[in-house]
Amino acid sequence: MSESPFVLPPAPRALEVTRDRLRLRPFEERDLDAMAAYRGDAEVCRYLPFEPQTPDDIRGRIGQLFGRTSLEGERAGLILVIERVSDGRVVGDLVLFHLDPQAGSAEIGWVVSPAVAGQGLATEAVRALIDTAFGVYGLRRLTARIDAENARSLALAERVGMRREAHHVENAWFKGRWSDELVYALLSREWTPRA
């Protein structure tokens, strides 16, 4: 087996991604209360791998990623808050994690407040995350694993141009039921960056 030709570029020292209506930036201690407002909602957490969270729960689960801009290292990943430009309010968060440096691939995920549902902010934010994953981090491939019953996230993955690659039938016992999981993916060569 030969060595992979993929080489991960150095992580940026600072990261801020701004679009017309939103800004993505690494999450910080000051974001905990805003994140708990939507991550504390049972309906928001219905398809997520955790129960409703308090600020302390969030700190305990992902606090090691405060301010992080690198994908490398043990329990590594990147959490970016979605901050609305008009008022500075944190309305969601995005994750880039499970880096496979040899394959140049990682997984993406999203959690968005129901208060901004139907406004297109989730689509804009995930597109900005994909631009960042490919353009800043130089990744070659992204995947998203989504519960088959999570219609909103499935629609979002398709809106941003991800392709459905797999349907795992009853592959996990999840929140009291056997859950089907759909895997979506996107290659950097399939992506057209947006300003």
The answer to whether residue 24 sits within a structural domain is yes
14-45: pLDDT as tens digits: 999 999 999 999 999 999 999 999 999 999 99
Residue range of the domain that includes 115: 17-139
Per-residue model confidence (pLDDT) at position 6: 81
The answer to whether residue 95 sits within a structural domain is yes
Q: Which residue is associated with the tokens 């141009």? A: 161
What pairs with residue 184 in β-bridges? 144, 164
Per-residue model confidence (pLDDT) at position 54: 97
CATH at 46:
3.40.630.30
Per-residue model confidence (pLDDT) at position 3: 75
The answer to whether residue 170 sits within a structural domain is no
Per-residue model confidence (pLDDT) at position 1: 58
The answer to whether residue 65 sits within a structural domain is yes
Per-residue model confidence (pLDDT) at position 73: 78
- Number of domains observed in the structure of the chain: 1
Per-residue model confidence (pLDDT) at position 117: 92
pLDDT band of 195, cuts 50, 70, 90? low
The answer to whether residue 186 sits within a structural domain is no
DSSP state of 33: H
The answer to whether residue 187 sits within a structural domain is no
Distances in Å between the Cα of 25 and the Cα atoms of 12, 98, 100, 128 are 12, 19, 23, 11
94-146: pLDDT as tens digits: 999 988 988 999 999 999 999 999 999 999 999 999 999 999 999 999 999 99
**pLDDT of 191 higher than 80:** yes
* Size of the chain in residues: 195
Would you call 25 helix, strand, or coil by DSSP? strand
State the chain's mean pLDDT as an integer: 94
The answer to whether residue 56 sits within a structural domain is yes
The answer to whether residue 50 sits within a structural domain is yes
